[in-house]
Amino acid sequence: MQLYNNLSAKERAELIEQAGKERLTISFYKYAKINNTEIFRNHLFLAWDQLEVLGRIYVATEGINAQLSVPAENFEAFKNHLDTISFLENVRLNIAIEHNNFAFLKLKVKVRKKIVADGLNDETFDVTNKGVHVNAKKFNELIEDPNTVLVDMRNHYESEIGHFKNAVTPDVDTFRESLDLIEEDLREHKEDKKLVMYCTGGIRCEKASAYYKHKGFKNVFQLEGGIINYVRQIEAEGLENKFLGKNFVFDERRSERISDDVIANCHQCGEPADLHTNCANEACHLLFIQCDSCKEKMENCCSTNCMEINRLPYEEQKALRKGQGNSNDIFKKGRADHLPYKKDLRNIFETLKTDKI
């Protein structure tokens, strides 16, 4: 019985290519009590491997968080399988706006302590006492209310390329930092302001809203299903789109375009650009925004230093890296002093704060 992925990304990409099947990119999460995470994990792997599901799935005693792709022709079977698991029956599936058959190249189901690395001690507050979930229509109304403070619960590299108009976008690397920063800035307004928050698919707000209620905020709202579900609803119901730019996603696609606005800049030359890339020097791999002309000039690298290393024969590069610890983290935080146009979003946060409150 095979319980783990045994193909390389390259082999898998070739198989997907050969199969020529259209794949759907889907994400979902559910907080639920899972007692035997290892057995549950194996169960999912076996069933989903059969259905040619690929993706990154986290299972913890607090629930499941899944981002995956499935051949369109197996979607019904996949949905039926979910329905056989009591707490996943009719779970809301966020189906991506733009599909890419190569969004995921492996099936990885991992047991973790938590489904989101939120840094919270859940024992200290009631995680089930959540904020009010609102749909796109209600959300659009709420964010026009002068008494609302709209907060983007995602990290700096996500909100930089796209966010809701008038949103506060904390310049943070982690969710935990965001929670503290917002609480600190709004501590005088726990009762009189409406705290409205959103994230990619809703999972981060789910706990954040409970946390803020615990901290004394009286009016806490969250966008149901996050940005992905919002876009589906505005399309289906003909509502006004208030999201500017692109939605950052955690797979090979990197982002989905929601509106034509380009709200970010190339970190190297400052021209409007909103395409994330990883530095081609494998030892660096920095995630940053690069325009097409810089991409060409810099040979897909973030600095001249990386460019020189990247030109070396592979064996020499490997020798250089030896003992340095290979950083293969795709989403390495995009901060580097040599990128002159990386926006300091903390300043934007300050500006918005004085405007809004």
Residues that bind Zn ion (CB under 5 A): 266, 268-269, 279, 281, 284, 286, 291, 294, 302, 306
Chain position carrying tokens 């057995």: 39
Nearest CA-CA partner of 305 in 319, 293, 317, 315: 317
- Based on CB atoms, which residue is closest to Zn ion, 242 or 267? 267
**3-class DSSP assignment, residue 134:** strand
Query: Which residue of the set 199, 294, 301, 302 is catalytic?
Result: 199
- Based on CB atoms, which residue is closest to Zn ion, 32 or 262? 262
For the bound state, the minimum distance from the C-beta of residue 7 to Zn ion, rounded and expressed in Å, comes to 29
Read off the DSSP letter of residue 241: P
**3-class DSSP assignment, residue 169:** coil
- Based on CB atoms, which residue is closest to Zn ion, 242 or 285? 285
Please name every residue paired with 98 in a beta bridge, in sequence order, or none if there are none: none
Which region, left, alpha or beta, applies to residue 41 given φ > 0 means left and ψ of -120 to 50 means alpha? alpha
Instruction: Determine the number of helices (DSSP H) and then strands (DSSP E) in the chain.
Output: 12, 14
Instruction: Determine how β-strand 194-198 pairs with β-strand 219-223.
Output: parallel
For the bound state, the minimum distance from the C-beta of residue 338 to Zn ion, rounded and expressed in Å, comes to 9
| Axis crossing angle, helix 37-50 with helix 75-83, rounded to the nearest 10 | 160
Q: Is 199 annotated in the active site?
A: yes
Read off the DSSP letter of residue 239: P
For the bound state, the minimum distance from the C-beta of residue 276 to Zn ion, rounded and expressed in Å, comes to 13
Which region, left, alpha or beta, applies to residue 20 given φ > 0 means left and ψ of -120 to 50 means alpha? left
For the bound state, the minimum distance from the C-beta of residue 93 to Zn ion, rounded and expressed in Å, comes to 37
For the bound state, the minimum distance from the C-beta of residue 296 to Zn ion, rounded and expressed in Å, comes to 10
- Based on CB atoms, which residue is closest to Zn ion, 209 or 281? 281
3-state helix, strand, coil in the chain (%, to 5): 35, 20, 45
- Based on CB atoms, which residue is closest to Zn ion, 182 or 306? 306
For the bound state, the minimum distance from the C-beta of residue 316 to Zn ion, rounded and expressed in Å, comes to 17
Tell me the Cα Rg of the chain. Answer: 21
- Based on CB atoms, which residue is closest to Zn ion, 94 or 281? 281
**CB of 330 within 8 A of CB of 278?**
yes
- Based on CB atoms, which residue is closest to Zn ion, 111 or 269? 269
For the bound state, the minimum distance from the C-beta of residue 80 to Zn ion, rounded and expressed in Å, comes to 45
Q: How far apart are CA 318 and CA 7, in angstroms?
A: 23
Residues catalogued as catalytic: 199
